[in-house]
Amino acid sequence: MVASVQAGSGNGGRRRRRSARPMAEINVTPMVDVMLVLLIIFMVTAPLLTVGVPIELPKSEAQQLEGDKEPLTITVDPDGKIFLQDTEMQLDEIVPKLTAISKNGYEERIFVRGDRRVNYGVVMRVMGTISVAGFRRIALVSDLEEKPQ
């Protein structure tokens, strides 16, 4: 008599399939795609997030200062109007506002932007008012001068 042997009958008829294991690799392609799109969006929108008062800055050969956060900016436009960030205000209102919003107290960096057509005395009056109030880190802002090639 010949007995037939079934395949896999040695373990009681139960078989495990090894080909259906969960995949242990992470597909990073979609994440890279999303990151590249975000990078492009930030590169396009970052220049638009600068101070919103349009002025024509004087040219200078000085190197750009590096900063890790947005500084407090005071702008004097061609008409002599004074702005703290984007808000127009009078000269006597600047010091109380600066004191209220400065996180580092009198060590807060303050940038003064003056249009190249504005009277130099107006810019100096603004800087003097800020300095007399106790702020010591005051800087003038200019554009880089283009050198002929």
Instruction: Give the pLDDT of the chain (149 residues) as one tens digit per residue.
Output: 555 555 555 555 565 556 667 777 888 888 899 999 999 888 887 766 655 556 665 666 655 555 556 678 888 888 888 888 888 888 888 888 888 887 777 778 888 888 888 888 888 888 888 888 888 888 887 666 665 55
Tell me which residue has tokens 């101070």.
51
Residue 93 lies in a domain: yes
Residue 19 lies in a domain: no
Rounded distance between C-alpha atoms, residue 134 and residue 92, angstroms:
15
Q: Give 88's contacts (C-beta < 8 A, 6+ positions apart).
A: 81, 82
Residue 99 lies in a domain: yes
Output the six-digit token pair for 62.
């000085």
Whole-prediction pTM value? 0.52
CATH of the domain at 124: 3.30.420.270
Residue 119 structural domain: 52-144
Q: How many domains does the chain have?
A: 1
